Amino acid sequence: MNRFNIDSAAKITYVTENIYEYPQVTFADEDLCLKALSRKWALPILKNMIARETVRFNELKKLMPNITSTVLSDTLLKLEHEGLISKKVYPEIPPRVEYRLAGRSRELKKIFEDLVEWTQHWKFSSTSSAGSRS
């Protein structure tokens, strides 16, 4: 039973990584991709994951102290269902769970770098007007 809602324009296939099978969403258009990335905490989570090979839940929580555990958990689940991150559960007691970027999310690193460069280029003080740069 699938417990997530994807618009009908998205194609869902199932991907097996290690011993876990999870849905992989293929975005039919850029609107669905933007919808996935525009969730309130999606970009900060992905930004923090780009710098690390693997990350655990509490590591992410410490990096983003303003997010609640429930919202972090829900957002990670949605990102996993959309195929942007993968989750590996180790059969240990206590359970150990690691998250990592899925292959296509690793490509976001270049986009984040370009966004930082763009932000630095257009950075201005709060007293200057937006139209003062050309």
Instruction: Please name the CATH architecture into which domain 11-121 falls.
Output: Orthogonal Bundle (1.10)
Using one digit for the tens of pLDDT, what is the confidence trace for 63-101?
A: 999 999 999 999 999 888 888 889 999 999 988 899 998
Using one digit for the tens of pLDDT, what is the confidence trace for 18-63?
A: 555 555 555 555 666 667 776 788 888 988 888 888 999 999 999 9
Nearest to 116, CA basis, from 63, 60, 43, 42 = 43
Do the Cβ atoms of 20 and 14 come closer than 8 Å? no
Using a cut of 0.85, tell me whether the model's pTM lies above it: no
**Angle ∠(101,34,106) on CA atoms, nearest 5:** 20
Query: What are phi and psi for residue 3, nearest 5 degrees?
Result: -110, 30
